[in-house]
């Protein structure tokens, strides 16, 4: 009788732990999906911004090309669900967008263009939402990674091949202070 009680307790523990780990795993996937949606929205807005800028910035092809290349890098990493590549590509895109917005300061007609202003606000809003979702994703991934390493949950995680989730890290360029003075002097 005691053996049956212990066996039932062990089986119930395995079931509860398994279901809990599945829930955590799906939270990581949901967090990634939230980022993916925002990246797609931003990716759809960037060509509109570039086309608006092209009309005014005939001498700034290199700046626009950097944004285009960075956009393609983010889209490629997003489609492959490559968290490490996305971190690098996001850094490049953030840097190139900063350069684009700084160069736009030299074009008064562009700065006054309502389409440009709307797109700039939309992209800035999406950037803020992406940062929030990145934090949520990293929290979910950390929760997953801790649970699959804690004893006795690690036993269930190993039995059912639960995987570690990679964190979406900031590139070192994104952590540096921004030289605001140079942006005003360009």
Domains of the chain: 20-185 (1.20.1440.20)
Note the pTM of the prediction, 2 decimals: 0.71
Residue 165 near residue 28 (C-beta atoms within 8 A):
yes
Interacting residues of 120 by C-beta distance below 8 A, sequence separation 6+: 49, 101, 104
Task: Report the alpha-carbon distance of residue 29 to residue 35 in Å, rounded.
Answer: 10
Q: Considering only 90-99, 120-129, 134-143, 174-183, which range has the smallest mean pLDDT?
A: 174-183
| N- to C-terminal Cα separation, the chain | 82
DSSP 169: P
Give residue 148's Cα distance to chain centre.
Answer: 23
pLDDT tens readout for residues 43-85: 888 888 888 787 767 667 778 888 888 889 988 988 888 888 8
pLDDT tens readout for residues 93-124: 888 888 888 878 777 777 777 888 888 888 88
């Amino acid at each position: 009788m005691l053996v049956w009680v212990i066996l039932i307790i062990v089986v119930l523990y395995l079931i509860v732990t398994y279901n809990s780990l599945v829930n955590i795993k799906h939270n990581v996937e949901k967090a990634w999906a939230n980022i993916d949606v925002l990246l797609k929205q931003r990716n759809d807005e960037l060509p509109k911004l570039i086309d608006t800028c092209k009309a005014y910035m005939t001498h700034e092809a290199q700046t626009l090309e950097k944004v285009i290349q960075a956009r393609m890098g983010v889209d490629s990493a997003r489609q492959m669900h490559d968290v490490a590549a996305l971190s690098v590509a996001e850094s490049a895109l953030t840097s190139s967008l900063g350069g684009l917005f700084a160069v736009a300061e030299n074009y008064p007609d562009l700065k006054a263009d309502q389409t440009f202003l709307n797109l700039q606000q939309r992209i800035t809003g999406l950037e803020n939402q992406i940062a929030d979702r990145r934090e949520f994703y990293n929290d979910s991934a950390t929760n997953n990674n801790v649970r699959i390493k804690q004893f006795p949950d690690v036993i269930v995680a190993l039995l059912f091949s639960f995987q570690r989730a990679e964190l979406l890290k900031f590139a070192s360029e994104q952590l540096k202070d921004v030289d605001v003075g140079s942006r005003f002097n360009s």
